[in-house]
Chains A and B, each alone.
Chain A
Amino acid sequence: MTSETQDLYDQIPLYINGSLSNKQNAHFKQQLKVDPELSQEYEILKSLQDDFSAHDSITENKSHFLFNQIEQNISSAEKNSSLFDAFKSWFYIPQIAWGAAAIQFALLVVIFANNPQQPSTQTYQTLSTVNTASTETRINIIFKSSVTQKQLINLLTPLQISIINGPSEIGLYVLAVNKNKQDEIFGILEQSDKVEFISLKN
């Protein structure tokens, strides 16, 4: 295809959509009569244009309706924008800005005034500081692998047992129980289906 012919083919949509000059129009019309392939190509695009035109028109009523929606969008955007701008502009007023700073400072003063830093008189005891040898017995215990933490808590809490060590790598716990209740508690734990192994610690 020569470049002149290619130009003609490129002109087909422009001829259809009315973009060609009068001179170009006249030339193109002439070529349509003598070039059947050009004519065929023209017919395809003409049919396409006819279909587009049949479907893409918009009625006056719809135009008005859509423009009303556009106006509503614009009004709504302007309203939101003016509220935000008004709010923002408040903080650009020096008196307001200084006032806000003063209030924040006053709040900080109030917070620190009511909670002065004082040395804590609360003392804490760790297990290692407590001498429990005279009141408690130690029990070594291994629970079955299927026992959950919740089950463990439910078992030990009512018996007022403390876990003072464990679990080790093999799952060994060391429990502290009241010496007076040692036999009773030992018996309960020994009977429990959650216990794999139990012994009194020497």
Chain B
Amino acid sequence: MNKQQENITDENLQLLRASAAGDKQAFHTLYQLTHKKVYAYLVRRLQDKSLADEILVDTYTEVWKNAAKFRAESQLDTWIIGIARNLAMNRLKRQKYHDDIENHADLSQQENLQLETAEIQQIMHKAILQLAENHREILGLILLPEYSYQQISTLLDVPLNTVKTRVYYAKNALKKVLISMGVNDNDI
């Protein structure tokens, strides 16, 4: 972690301590500084914005209630994402969650497809929806701004090499999905 990141972490920690003491202004500031990353994680994992909204609200409610319990054994944003993750998993267990896979154009019949950027994005989005949830989660996490393998290791409570292995398998799974959608090697 570089100096700037360390400073941010210290500031966030102070805001959390102030929140634990009942300072709502500090809590609001903490929210403003951290919620975008948490929201990004939830949307990437759930692919459902309204559900992500609900869980974000629940997450920060829990952060407020449990602010005094944070032991700084992990980084603060890892702790908050951990809360969001648990809430998301509990919610997904309670409801049958079906990925809404839209009718996409059957590209498999088209050979040597020349893809424009917008088409690539559309295909990639559909590919994400077809990914298994655990693959989607790990790719969503590793691509979060300034997030590291070590932080994911702490979040998921697995060894560092396990995280790297999971990322590897997730990438392969994504490639398989793209190929099954008719995207050829040159375009991958």
Interface residues of A (CB under 8 A from B): 9-10, 13-14, 16-19, 21, 40-41, 43-45, 47-52, 54-58, 62-63, 66-67, 69-71, 73-74, 77
Contacts and interface: CB of A to CB of B under 8 A. Distances in A.
- Is chain B's binding surface mostly helix, strand, loop or mixed? helix
A51 B171 CA distance: 15
B39 A41 contact: no
Contacts of B32: 63
A48 B139 contact: yes
Query: Top 6 nearest A-B pairs by Cβ distance?
Result: A56-B43, A56-B40, A13-B142, A73-B61, A51-B124, A70-B60
A131 B129 CA distance: 88
Given A52-B40, A56-B43, A66 B56 contact: yes
Contacts of B171: 41, 44-45
B31 interface: yes
Given A48-B124, A54-B121, A77-B65, A17 B147 contact: yes
B147 A19 contact: yes
B113 interface: no
B17 interface: no
A62 B36 CA distance: 11
A62 to B, nearest CB: 7
B50 to A, nearest CB: 11
A44 to B, nearest CB: 6
Nearest to B5: A19
Contact of A49 (B56, B60, B143): B143
Given A51-B128, A55-B125, 10 more contacts: A9-B168, A13-B142, A13-B143, A13-B167, A19-B148, A45-B143, A48-B174, A51-B121, A67-B28, A71-B24
A51 B117 CA distance: 11
B120 A16 contact: no
Counting chain B residues whose Cβ lies within 8 A of the other chain, the interface size class is: 35 or more
B149 interface: yes
Contacts of A62: 53
B102 interface: no
26 contacts: A13-B142, A13-B167, A14-B148, A14-B149, A19-B147, A19-B148, A44-B178, A44-B188, A45-B171, A47-B121, A51-B124, A56-B40, A58-B35, A58-B36, A62-B53, A63-B36, A66-B53, A66-B57, A67-B31, A67-B35, A67-B60, A70-B64, A73-B57, A74-B24, A74-B64, A77-B61
Interface in B19-67: 24, 28, 31-32, 35-36, 39-40, 43-44, 49, 53, 56-58, 60-61, 64-65
A45 B172 CA distance: 11
Contacts, number: 98
A43 B175 CA distance: 12
Contacts of B73: none
Contacts of A43: 188
Given A13-B143, A18-B145, A69 B128 contact: no
A63 B175 CA distance: 34
Interface in B131-163: 139-140, 142-149
Nearest to A53: B40
Contacts of A18: 145-146
Contact of A51 (B24, B57, B60, B125): B125
A73 B147 CA distance: 29
B39 A58 contact: yes
A16 B143 contact: yes
A69 B125 contact: no
B2 interface: yes
